[in-house]
Amino acid sequence: MSVSGTAEALHEPWRSLRRQREGTSFGTWVFLGSELMMFGGLVLIYAVNRALHPDAFTAGGRETSLIYGTVNTAVLLTSSLTMAVGSEAARAGLRRLALRTLLATIALGCTFLAVKGFEYNEDIAKGMIPGPGFPLEEPAAQIFWALYWIMTALHALHLTVGIGLVSIFTYQYWKLERLHQSPAFEGTALYWHLVDIIWIFLYPLFYLMGRS
């Protein structure tokens, strides 16, 4: 690790790379807090409606695809593992390991989206779109499904952004345009883990209701 590498990774207005890394981590955390509030607001809507219409929500929850949901949870948890290893490896300067795990992360993220696509397809085939002709009798089950679509889609959007970020940084790293000291890896990893945490909560809310 050359001194010049350190200098190149250092950007205005920071005075030291260490401070810059701390700053990036902290800034990302603050942003993640913000993201948490957004999903928190949606979970609040879910919680209130569930409190008002427990039976309808149980009935609605029975119709989601548990298999797809569980597989996707496993995929995402694994991607968090590769992401964590990838960012640590980059920090330690282990280029091969970092590139491999980051690529694996991208692949797992895409797998998640693909499985999600199959799942959406099945949901649509079952007619689980709120509106006239909705298959469930309880009116409030449509609220459950409306929230299902909005929250999972918003999560998928976040994951897509995550895949984009990891792809860009991995490419730059591979092309030697981005140094391994760059704080971007740590920042992206934090974001990726937050997207994972959000899914960890969406999973019981949408897939585990009304199974017993």
Q: Which of residues 35-64 bind other proteins (CB under 8 A)?
A: 35-42, 44-45, 47-49, 51-53, 56
CA distance 185 to 99: 11
Question: 28 or 170, CB closer to other proteins?
Answer: 28
Can you tell me which of 4, 30, 175, 176 binds other proteins, judged by CB under 8 A?
30
Report the residue from 142, 160, 167, 172 that binds other proteins according to the rule CB under 8 A.
Answer: 142
Q: Which is nearer to other proteins, 26 or 171 (CB)?
A: 26
Question: Helix, strand, or coil here: 32?
Answer: helix
Residue 176, interface with other proteins (CB under 8 A)?
Answer: no
Q: Which stretch binds other proteins (CB under 8 A): 106-114, 118-126, 128-136, 164-172?
A: 128-136
**Least distance to other proteins from the beta carbon of 166, Å?**
15
Measured distance CA(129)–CA(9) in Å, rounded: 49
Taken in order 49, 50, 56, 60, is the CA torsion positive or negative?
A: positive
Helix (H, G, I), strand (E, B) or coil at 42: helix
Kindly tell me which of 125 and 131 has the beta carbon lying closer to other proteins.
Answer: 131
Q: Is 79 helix (H, G, I), strand (E, B) or coil?
A: helix
Tell me which residue of 25, 33, 3 sits closest to 184, measured CA to CA.
25
Contact 210, 61 (CB under 8 A): yes
Residue 70 CB, shortest distance to other proteins, in Å, is 5
Q: 205, 210, 181: which is closest to 56 by C-alpha?
A: 210
Residue in 89, 115, 163, 179 binding other proteins, rule: CB under 8 A: 89
Q: Rounded CA gap, 87 and 161, in Å?
A: 17
Among 60, 109, 130, 162, binds other proteins (CB under 8 A): 130
CB of 78 to other proteins, least distance (A): 7
Positions 63 through 82 that interact with other proteins (CB under 8 A): 66, 70, 73-74, 77-78, 80-81
Output 97 or 110, the one with its CB closest to other proteins: 97
Instruction: Return the SS3 of 163.
Output: helix
